[in-house]
Structure 1
Amino acid sequence: MTTHDQPPVAEPPTPPDGETPTTPAADSAATPRRAGATALAVIVTCQLMVAVDGNIVNIALPRIQSGLGFSPDGLAWVFSAYSLAFGGLLLLGGRASDVLGRRRMFTWGLLLVVAASLLGGLAPNSALLIAARAAQGVGFAFAAPAALSLIAVTFREGPERSRALGVFSTVAGLGITIGLILGGLLTTFSWRLVFFVNVPIGLAAVFLAARHLGETEKHPARPDVIGALTSTAGMTAVVYGLINASSAGWSSTTTGLALVLGLVLLGAFAVTQAKVREPLISLRLLAQRARSGAYAVFLLLFAAMGGTYFLLSLYVQDGLGLAPLTAGLAFLPMALAQFATARSAAKLIPRYGARTLIVTGAALMLADSLWLAATGPHSGYLTGLLGPLVLLGAGLGLGFVPLNMTILAGLAPKETGAASGLLQALQQIGLSLGVAVLATLYGGSLHGARNPDRAQLADGLSTAVVAAAAFSGVAVLIGLLVITRPKATA
């Protein structure tokens, strides 16, 4: 990277558990503060697009169904095609950024997203729209890990990286709410706009990346073909099994076969990674106790968040009768709470340590679930949902910044892409797992009612969020018992 694109490299802090430090590092020397701010804005634009895209299309699904004549089963593939491609290729995408260059994968991935979004907006039939959604998932699977690893090599470890990750996490949280609001707004004009909106934003990010992001050092390696195939097939099978479980149930033969096949393939992938010279994912990433614990907490908190968010998106419309745009605005307090706490987390980590904030964030999410478990037929938005939404946002903001830092701490440059890809793959599995588990409990509590009333919907919500409480509770325990160095990232 040129001297105009990178901050000075600092000595790495002691890694979690006091292990021998590696050189984290940026690939070269200093950058002016203004260039660093511009580079960060370009990087987080990709994360904003990922977060928005996961929700903006969902709001438009009814209009898409009527516009292109989707069957109910076919409409589900608008979501599933994207999730399968994105989740299935994240491990490969993360490693590709290490081997081929992070800026290259960042720009190539975004260009594919732009082309796929243009195709989706112009799609004359359902087949092309599903193909476009799959291509969007492929593009983001290569761009998103590159974006997170660019933060690791552009901003030196310590307060500077803390601030950058705080912005990154804040944008991710805001993007969820922005997706709901923007989806509701654009759909009032045309569902095609929810695809077209990616085109100017993606092109602008690619243009600015060429000007403000230098290419990072490449780390050529012999292609691990077997690892790439088994990891992609295994991740795809697991994500598909979880998606199918949310609609067909856990007793479905398809669900069981997909999950078993996925776990077998991922097990085979882990075995091959221990033997090949240039692994797709080095098992050394999981050797440090604090990092492996942080990965586990990340998966569990995303399961709690994804399932809760999914149910609340339904409940505010079906139970409280809010219109799509108003429903999106209802989540704004959560986004604002996450914005405030993510900004504060960067300043609190040096004082209290990463573990303290991780445990506090998970505990706030546990409190959010327990509060929602008390939802009744007379619970309104102000009395029943506003408080839990604020707790959920605060927990996400406090927890995710130190989790990202713990995972990225002390890594060699050639490992940051793989570490980022694994993190985001677990994020996708967590989201799918949370939705599958909570949706199953929610549907089971309704006892097949076609038009459940508000009391039944409230009972379903209060029953299902017990699973989210379990996810967050286990995350608290892992934070206390596994992430043992309180100030791992001081």
Structure 2
Amino acid sequence: MWVVASADESRPSAAPTSRNLALAGMLFAVSMTFIDQTIVSIAAPSIIGELGLSSSGMQWVVNSYLLSLAAFFALGGRLADILGHRRMALVGTVVFVVSSALCGAVPSGGAAQTWLVVFRAVQGLGAALMFPAALAVVVEVFPVDRRGRALALFFGVSGALTALGPILGGWLTSWTWRAIFWVNVPVAVIAVVLTLMARIRNTPRPEPVDWPGAFLTAVGMGLSVLGLQQASSWGWGSALTWLCIAGGLAVLALLVVVELRSRDPLITMQIFADRAFSVDNAVLFFAMMAFVPVFFFASVYAQVALDYSPDEAGIYLLLFFAGFGPASQVGGRMLDRRGARTPMLVGTALGAVGFALWAGKITDLSLNAQWPYIVLSGAGIGFLLTPASTDAVNRAIGRSYGEVTGITQTVRNYSASVSLAVLGTVLLHTTADRVQQTLEQHGLPAAQARTTAERIAQGITGHGGGSGTPGGVDSTLLGQIRADFAEANQRVFYGMAAALAVAFVCALRHPGTRVTEATEPAEAQEATAATAATEPAGPVEPPPAAAP
């Protein structure tokens, strides 16, 4: 099947593109997707209480969004190249915000769970269509020598919004939990207005869509991520868990064979022959094992071990971004001047040391003992994220920025799913073991201690619909259980440090070559030429704030 766009859209527009407005528009668009990754979890108890959902049903409300993201990122990136980056950014924004508004309008009654699961999945589809296109717009309108700084701002601001989810969610839920979905409407309106004002050129490439490849990608990613997500509920010993994971991986292996033989593949496998591109994605894979899960684990740790409120836990996470934000700007400038290898090595090394030191102090139950290492951990991720992501996109074949962005985002999403599943299991079982020892020390028989410990562990780790707070626990044991949970988290944070150490080893394999204006594909040079003569060559100006 061919997707054809009108030929006149590929011509330069009469008015020049405003780079800063384009960056601001894309930031507003993607801000919704980042906030939505954490904001729904905060409102979960209110949603369950009003709509009468089961704990497993609420888990599907959260997971359906992430499953849809994983399944459709690659297709979204390819469609962005075929139909044009601006067009797909707008389409994805509209799909996302309409489904978000419908989530907020869910009726009470028996259909509530199905309604929420379906439209959360459509939200994920909208995000998968929007994000690769939005990132491709930024890449396309900024020349190579300014791209690192622009994307540092893009990733810095949008990444920080993830930490705002718990704070914003707590504030909105105090009014009504439906507002966590409705807040996306004004943000989307601003994104669309800024995008239209920026006069971004739409540059379609009429090519066939590889629907077999899209189907295999969706099935393979969907099945394997589903198995990872449900491992905590089904159990790692469940045949269904491994059927999903192994079946998904088998489908993805088949995808590679099909794509290598396809004339117009969804994913151009030949790009992995570029060692720098492969290293960039390997660094992202292992780094995201720390970056994405840290929001969940640190938030629950703060609420349970430190006895913080959700709002205070959000502020705890902001310490991470006190290091992440400035380091992302420095990393972007290092990329522009020296290439990706140096900032990736610096970032992975700082991150590994920071997470290891953070883990060492996490049992102190004192923010004063932890905050320098939280900031250091954030700085490490900040240094590496923009260079790894931007260098990978810069190496796109032709100007298939959307396709390559889809690949890198799929890698990041899959890595996060693996890490959350594995580290979540470690946290659950270690917490149960520690609590069991505590209960036995206080005279409880071993069998009863184990049953009680497992119930408590499921509750405070968020498994099985837990609230994240130790309920039904004798006050004399509460302090010791908080300490037990902190000890369990220590293993998790050491695991994150180990993942970043592996990312450092991967970064050593980067050849150190840079993509410059002279080496970038001719088509990509033409795409930025229309704005180069009309935009100042100075530093990227910060766009309007991207948070609602």
Counterpart residue type for residue 455 of structure 2: R
Stretch deviating more after TM superposition (405-414 or 191-200): 405-414
Alignment match, 1:230 = 216
Assess if the C-alpha contact under 8 Å between 1:56 and 1:194 holds in 2: yes
Alignment match, 2:499 = 471
1:462 aligns with 2:490: yes
Alignment match, 1:133 = 120
Stretch deviating more after TM superposition (174-183 or 288-297): 174-183
Distance (whole Å) between structure 2 residues aligned to residue 85 and residue 478 of structure 1: 29
Distance (whole Å) between structure 2 residues aligned to residue 295 and residue 436 of structure 1: 20
1:272 aligns with 2:258: yes
Matches within 5 A, 1:116-131: 116-124=99-107, 125-131=112-118
Stretch deviating more after TM superposition (437-446 or 411-420): 411-420
Distance (whole Å) between structure 1 residues aligned to residue 499 and residue 16 of structure 2: 42
1:483 aligns with 2:466: no
Assess if the C-alpha contact under 8 Å between 2:423 and 2:492 holds in 1: yes
Alignment match, 1:374 = 360
Name which of 301, 305, 313 aligns with 1:319.
305
How well do the aligned residues superpose, as a CA RMSD in angstroms? 2.2
1:411 aligns with 2:411: no
| Deviation, structure 1 residue 350 | 4.3
1:337 aligns with 2:316: no
Q: TM-score, normalised by structure 1?
A: 0.90
Instruction: Map Cα deviations across residues 371-395 of structure 1 (whole Å, 9 max, x no partner).
Output: 23324543312213x2232122211
Alignment match, 1:152 = 139
Assess if the C-alpha contact under 8 Å between 2:21 and 2:195 holds in 1: no
| Deviation, structure 1 residue 87 | 1.0
Structure 1 residues 298 and 252: alpha-carbon distance in aligned structure 2, compared to 1, 3 A threshold: same
Alignment match, 1:429 = 414
Counterpart residue type for residue 499 of structure 2: F
Stretch deviating more after TM superposition (353-362 or 249-258): 249-258
Structure 1 residues 27 and 467: alpha-carbon distance in aligned structure 2, compared to 1, 3 A threshold: farther
Instruction: Map Cα deviations across residues 170-196 of structure 1 (whole Å, 9 max, x no partner).
Output: 112211112121111111111110000
Distance (whole Å) between structure 1 residues aligned to residue 38 and residue 289 of structure 2: 16
Name which of 162, 175, 181 aligns with 1:176.
162
Distance (whole Å) between structure 1 residues aligned to residue 33 and residue 373 of structure 2: 25
Runs (4+) of structure 1 exceeding 3 A deviation are 26-33, 246-249, 350-353, 375-378, 448-452, 486-490
Instruction: Map Cα deviations across residues 77-101 of structure 1 (whole Å, 9 max, x no partner).
Output: 1111101111110011110001111
Name which of 348, 351, 368 aligns with 1:362.
348
Name which of 273, 276, 286 aligns with 2:272.
286
Assess if the C-alpha contact under 8 Å between 2:12 and 2:201 holds in 1: no
Assess if the C-alpha contact under 8 Å between 1:302 and 1:427 holds in 2: yes
Counterpart residue type for residue 138 of structure 2: I
Distance (whole Å) between structure 1 residues aligned to residue 209 and residue 367 of structure 2: 53
Could you say what secondary structure the match of 2:149 adopts?
helix
Stretch deviating more after TM superposition (181-190 or 352-361): 352-361
Name which of 26, 37, 44 aligns with 1:61.
44
Assess if the C-alpha contact under 8 Å between 2:22 and 2:138 holds in 1: no
Assess if the C-alpha contact under 8 Å between 1:163 and 1:343 holds in 2: yes
Distance (whole Å) between structure 2 residues aligned to residue 237 and residue 374 of structure 1: 36
Distance (whole Å) between structure 1 residues aligned to residue 390 and residue 208 of structure 2: 29
Counterpart residue type for residue 220 of structure 2: G
1:45 aligns with 2:28: yes
State the number of aligned residues.
463
Assess if the C-alpha contact under 8 Å between 2:347 and 2:382 holds in 1: yes
1:103 aligns with 2:131: no
| Deviation, structure 1 residue 352 | 4.3
Could you say what secondary structure the match of 2:267 adopts?
coil
Stretch deviating more after TM superposition (149-158 or 364-373): 364-373
Counterpart residue type for residue 416 of structure 2: L
Structure 1 residues 341 and 264: alpha-carbon distance in aligned structure 2, compared to 1, 3 A threshold: same
Could you say what secondary structure the match of 1:303 adopts?
helix
Name which of 33, 53, 62 aligns with 1:70.
53
Name which of 360, 364, 369 aligns with 1:383.
369
Mark the structure with the bigger radius of gyration. 2
Distance (whole Å) between structure 2 residues aligned to residue 329 and residue 111 of structure 1: 31
Alignment match, 1:444 = 429
Assess if the C-alpha contact under 8 Å between 2:231 and 2:241 holds in 1: yes
Assess if the C-alpha contact under 8 Å between 2:38 and 2:162 holds in 1: yes
Assess if the C-alpha contact under 8 Å between 1:375 and 1:461 holds in 2: no
Instruction: Map Cα deviations across residues 145-184 of structure 1 (whole Å, 9 max, x no partner).
Output: 10111112111112x1111111111112211112121111
Instruction: Map Cα deviations across residues 331-370 of structure 1 (whole Å, 9 max, x no partner).
Output: 1121222111112222223454311110111112211221
Could you say what secondary structure the match of 2:360 adopts?
coil
Counterpart residue type for residue 463 of structure 1: R
1:85 aligns with 2:79: no
Could you say what secondary structure the match of 1:190 adopts?
coil
Alignment match, 1:399 = 384
Distance (whole Å) between structure 1 residues aligned to residue 268 and residue 43 of structure 2: 40
Instruction: Map Cα deviations across residues 371-425 of structure 1 (whole Å, 9 max, x no partner).
Output: 23324543312213x2232122211211011112210124345411110001111
Alignment match, 1:165 = 151
In structure 1, runs of 5+ residues without a counterpart are 6-25
Name which of 346, 349, 363 aligns with 2:332.
346
Assess if the C-alpha contact under 8 Å between 2:148 and 2:336 holds in 1: no
Instruction: Map Cα deviations across residues 291-338 of structure 1 (whole Å, 9 max, x no partner).
Output: 111011111111122233321111100111111111111111212221
Assess if the C-alpha contact under 8 Å between 1:375 and 1:459 holds in 2: no
Structure 1 residues 343 and 427: alpha-carbon distance in aligned structure 2, compared to 1, 3 A threshold: same
Distance (whole Å) between structure 2 residues aligned to residue 249 and residue 63 of structure 1: 27
Counterpart residue type for residue 150 of structure 2: A
Alignment match, 2:461 = none
Identical columns (%): 32
Could you say what secondary structure the match of 1:280 adopts?
coil
Structure 1 residues 220 and 32: alpha-carbon distance in aligned structure 2, compared to 1, 3 A threshold: closer
Alignment match, 1:194 = 180
Could you say what secondary structure the match of 1:53 adopts?
helix
Name which of 212, 216, 225 aligns with 2:198.
212
In structure 2, runs of 5+ residues without a counterpart are 1-8, 433-452, 458-480, 518-548
Structure 1 residues 208 and 29: alpha-carbon distance in aligned structure 2, compared to 1, 3 A threshold: closer
Instruction: Map Cα deviations across residues 445-476 of structure 1 (whole Å, 9 max, x no partner).
Output: 02244336111101110122232122111100
Q: TM-score, normalised by structure 2?
A: 0.81
Structure 1 residues 469 and 377: alpha-carbon distance in aligned structure 2, compared to 1, 3 A threshold: closer
Distance (whole Å) between structure 1 residues aligned to residue 202 and residue 357 of structure 2: 46
Assess if the C-alpha contact under 8 Å between 1:246 and 1:440 holds in 2: yes
